[in-house]
Structure 1
Amino acid sequence: MNQEQILDIFRESEALLEGHFRLTSGRHSNRYVQCAQVLQYPHYTDKLANHLAEQLEKTLGKGTTELIIGPAMGGIIVAYAVGQALGLRAIFAERENGIMKLRRSFQIEKGQKVVVCEDVVTTGGSVREVMQVVEEAGGEVIAVASLVDRSNGQVDFGVPFCAAMTMEVLSWDPAECPLCQEGTPAIKPGSRS
């Protein structure tokens, strides 16, 4: 799949929104990607996950990855679908009292080679939290994969980063947001407030 085909999937599923949005990072933007709109369609999810799985195998080598993990909420379906595409176990980390951790008896073996999967990466905050969970459990993060990279090249996880789609999206500190200055109210889409 190429970038235009992937963008078509996001358009067809109405996952690409335009307006004034407050992002999870606290920054404001004129575009928002709601991956849940794509992930509600298993045929789109399979296509995107297979594409990411191919990218990971090209980057890391076939059979290198041993476990897939994603942050709750957005990374759960992505991690599961990529795990399915690679024939691997897929788990998730979730927040408890504001701290990302493994729950539900999920285990990571010492030295296990792990890929962190996310739906959208903007600042990489949730990915870094999950990377820390993996490392504290004794696993080794060998790559990060996401459906959308909207970081504008500003994130470096210290491991390979594969994205199905890269979007150049403007974002602003709220104090400098031109949409706020116009008086347009920002809305907070997504699952985290």
Structure 2
Amino acid sequence: MTNEEVLDEFRAARALLEGHFILSSGLRSSRYLQCARVLMDPARAERLATALAAKIPASIRDLVEVVVSPAMGGVIIGHEMGRALRRPAMFVERPTGTFELRRGFSLEPGTKVLLVEDVVTTGLSSREAIAAVERAGGKVVGAAALVDRSNGTADLGVEFTPLIRLDVPTYAPEALPPELQALPAVKPGSRAA
């Protein structure tokens, strides 16, 4: 799937938004990819996950025993990646502010895990989810996401494969350009800034 084909999927789902957005990281942006919207169509979610699975280097893909994703945003793409890779899929969540496996999910010591996200901006959520997997006994052998918004700068500590890199500038709240200052800020994500 080419970058334009991926963006066409977001456009068709009306999931490529323009305005003034507060990202989960607290940074601000003029564009937002609403992954929940693009993934609400099961056929589209399957196409995107299949394309992402095909992009992961075989040296990593062949090691993966389990797919883990962070709740909320990563649950659907994580499940679809499990389907594409024919591996179990589970998720970590933050009942008390720190990611952990719950709901009967567990990992045998040394289980090789692929961490899957919807969007990576700074990599903070991914690093927190990786730490949770490690506390649970797993070993993250790679990470993947539908979208890398970090301009290639996110360091997750493992090889990271995005389906698409979206080079959209982000800004600290105190350093907004005039065009964003003029627009009301909207918080479309699931995590408090």
Secondary structure in structure 2 of the residue aligned to 1:77: helix
1:1-193 matches, within 5 Å, as: 1-61=1-61, 63-179=62-178, 182-193=181-192
Secondary structure in structure 2 of the residue aligned to 1:99: coil
CA distance in 1 between counterparts of 2:158 and 2:93 reads 22
CA RMSD of the aligned region, Å?
Answer: 1.4
User: For residue 99 of structure 2, what is the amino acid of its counterpart?
Assistant: M
Deviation at 1:56, TM superposition (A): 2.0
CA distance in 1 between counterparts of 2:164 and 2:117 reads 12
User: For residue 40 of structure 2, what is the amino acid of its counterpart?
Assistant: Q
Deviation at 1:139, TM superposition (A): 1.0
CA distance in 1 between counterparts of 2:58 and 2:64 reads 12
Deviation at 1:43, TM superposition (A): 1.0
Deviation at 1:180, TM superposition (A): 7.4
CA distance in 2 between counterparts of 1:36 and 1:141 reads 24
Deviation at 1:60, TM superposition (A): 1.8
The verdict on how the C-alpha distance between 1:182 and 1:71 changes in structure 2, with shifts beyond 3 A counting, is closer
Deviation at 1:181, TM superposition (A): 6.9
Give 5+ residue unaligned stretches, structure 1: none
- Which whole-Å deviations, capped at 9, do the CAs of 1:79-106 have from their partners, x for residues lacking one? 1000001110000000012111111110
CA distance in 2 between counterparts of 1:99 and 1:158 reads 19
Aligned length: 192
Contact 1:149 1:165 in 2 (8 A): yes
Contact 2:77 2:117 in 1 (8 A): yes
Deviates more, 1:45-54 or 1:177-186: 177-186
CA distance in 1 between counterparts of 2:119 and 2:92 reads 16
User: For residue 106 of structure 1, what is the amino acid of its counterpart?
Assistant: F
CA distance in 2 between counterparts of 1:180 and 1:93 reads 37
CA distance in 2 between counterparts of 1:90 and 1:143 reads 15
Give 5+ residue unaligned stretches, structure 2: none
Deviation at 1:57, TM superposition (A): 4.7
Secondary structure in structure 2 of the residue aligned to 1:88: coil
CA distance in 1 between counterparts of 2:181 and 2:142 reads 41
User: Among the aligned pairs, what percent are the same residue?
Assistant: 47
The verdict on how the C-alpha distance between 1:181 and 1:77 changes in structure 2, with shifts beyond 3 A counting, is closer
- Which whole-Å deviations, capped at 9, do the CAs of 1:140-184 have from their partners, x for residues lacking one? 101100000001111111211111111001110000011477432
Using the size of structure 1 for normalisation, the TM-score is 0.95
CA distance in 1 between counterparts of 2:85 and 2:182 reads 47
Contact 1:68 1:83 in 2 (8 A): yes
Using the size of structure 2 for normalisation, the TM-score is 0.95
Deviates more, 1:179-188 or 1:103-112: 179-188
